[in-house]
Amino acid sequence: AWQALSRGAPPDVVEGIALYGYRKKIPGETIAAWASGYKNLTDAKVPPEVAADLVRNAMENDWDIRTFDLFKQNMYAAARNRFDMKAYATYLFGHYLEGKKMPGAMAADAMVYFKKCAARKTEPVLPPYQGVFSPKPVQEIVYEAKPREEVPEPVPSAVEPPPAQPQPEPVTPVVEPRPEPQPVRPAVTPRPVEPPKPVKPAAVPKPAPQPTPQSLGIAMGTLWPGLYTAAQSYLGTPYVWGGTTHKGIDCSGFTQNSYGENKVRIPRVSRDQWKTGDPIGWKDLRKGDLVFFNTMGVGVSHVGLVVDASGPRFYHASSSKGVTESDL
C-alpha cells in the first residue's frame, strides 16, 4: 500500500484494495500492482469505473500479476486508440471469462477486432457481461443528490453595450470660388448628429432552482421502508472493492444502490457522497442518514447507513466481514 501511495495512487483506492488484500492475505506486491495499475489507467484517461473493473476482476478471479499487467497494457493501448473503453472492457473481460483463450491471445484478439470496427465504422458486437461500469436496470430516479458547491460569483452579461461613437467635429462652411457671373451659394450647415442611446445589457436569466427532497414530496418516513429493505438485501454480501452487485460490493456501492433502488441517486464514491445533503451533529442522527469515516487521516474513505439512531447502529460493507451491521 505504501508503494502505491508513494507513486501517487489515490489514498481511498489504496485503502479499499489493501483491506481486501489483508482479508484474503494477498501479497503486498500484488496490492501495490493493483493500486498502481488503477492510477496508470486513470492517468491515461481510462474511466475510473473501467479501471476499477480490471482490479475487481483480478480480485474475484485470482489473476496473477502477469495477467493483470497484460490486460492493463492492452487497455492502455486501447485508450490511446480512443476506443470506447466501456465497450472494450466488456468485450475483453466478457470473452476472457468464457475460458476459451489465454490472456495474451484474448488481448490481441480484442485489439484487432476493435481496430477493424473503427476502420469499418461499425459498432462492435459485445458479449453478455456485468461489470462495475455496466448500466443496471433501475427504477426511475425521482431525486438526484448532488455535491454541495460554493455559490459562484456573478457572471457579467454576455451582451456588452456598444462602444460610444465619436462626436462629429463641427464643419466649417467653405465657400468655393465660382466663375463669374454665377453667384456664390452658401454652404448648408450640417445637422448635429445625436449620440447613440446606451443599450442596457440583457438580463442574465436566473437558473431554475434545484429540486429538493421536500419539494418533490420525498420524506424519510415514506422512503425508509424501501430503503431499509434494499439495505437488508445486501447483508452478507462479500466485500469487493469497486463492486456494485449482490455478488460483491464496496461501502459506497452499497449506500448508492440502497438509495438508487428507491429512486434517489447519490454519487458513486464516499468522498462525493459526503459532499451531498446537509451536515448534522451526532445527536441529530436518524435512520437513513449516512455516516462517514476518515480511516486513513486523509479525508473520507468509508461510509455506512444508519439503521437505528438509538445505538446508533449502521449497515456498511466491511472489508473483513462484507455487508454487516455495526455499532457506532
Query: For residue range 128-171, what is the model confidence (pLDDT) as tens digits?
Result: 998 877 766 555 666 677 666 644 444 444 444 444 444 444 44
- Cα gap 300→316, rounded to integer Å: 14
Residue 176 lies in a domain: no
Residues 18-40 have pLDDT tens digits of 666 656 677 778 888 888 898 88
- Selected catalytic residue, list 95, 117, 246, 316: 316
In one letter, which amino acid is 203?
A
The whole-number pLDDT of residue 10 equals 65
pLDDT-above-90 percentage for the chain: 39
How many distinct structural domains can be found in the chain? 2
- Cβ of 30: how many Cβ atoms within 10 Å? 18
Q: Is residue 209 over pLDDT 70?
A: no
In a domain, 81, yes or no: yes
pTM over 0.75: no
- Pick the more confident residue, 242 or 157: 242
Residue 168 inside a domain? The answer is no
In angstroms, how far is CA 262 from the centroid of its own chain? 20
Is 305 inside any structural domain? yes
Give me the catalytic one of 95, 117, 246, 302. 302
Cell of 118: 473503427
In a domain, 31, yes or no: yes
Q: How far is CA 54 from CA 117, 192, 304, 307, in A?
A: 23, 77, 25, 33
Cell numbers standing for residue 108: 490481441
Q: What is the pLDDT of residue 194?
A: 66
What distance lies between CA 138 and its chain's CA centroid? 18
Q: Is residue 169 left, alpha or beta, with left meaning phi > 0 and alpha meaning psi from -120 to 50?
A: beta
Of 120, 135, 169, the domain-final residue: 120
Alpha carbon distance 202, 190 (integer Å) = 35
Q: Nearest-5° angle of CA 27, CA 28, CA 34?
A: 100
> Residue 252 has which C-alpha cell?
459506497
Domain assignment present for 194: no
Cell (9 digits) for 168: 462629429
Mean pLDDT of 102-115: 97
Neighbours of 251 (CB within 10 A): 27
Q: What secondary structure letter does DSSP report for 164? A: P
Tell me, yes or no, if 302 is annotated catalytic. yes
pLDDT recorded at residue 320: 81
| Residue 166 CB burial class (10 angstroms; 0-12, 13-18, ≥19) | exposed
pLDDT reported for residue 152: 45
**pLDDT at residue 193, as a whole number:** 62
Q: Give catalytic status of residue 316 as yes or no.
A: yes
Structural domain span for residue 309: 143-148+211-327
Q: Is residue 197 part of a domain?
A: no
Three cell numbers, residue 211: 429540486
Residue 166 lies in a domain: no
Residue 275 has pLDDT above 80, yes or no: yes
Residue 178 in this model has a pLDDT that exceeds 60: no
Does 246 qualify as catalytic in the annotation?
no
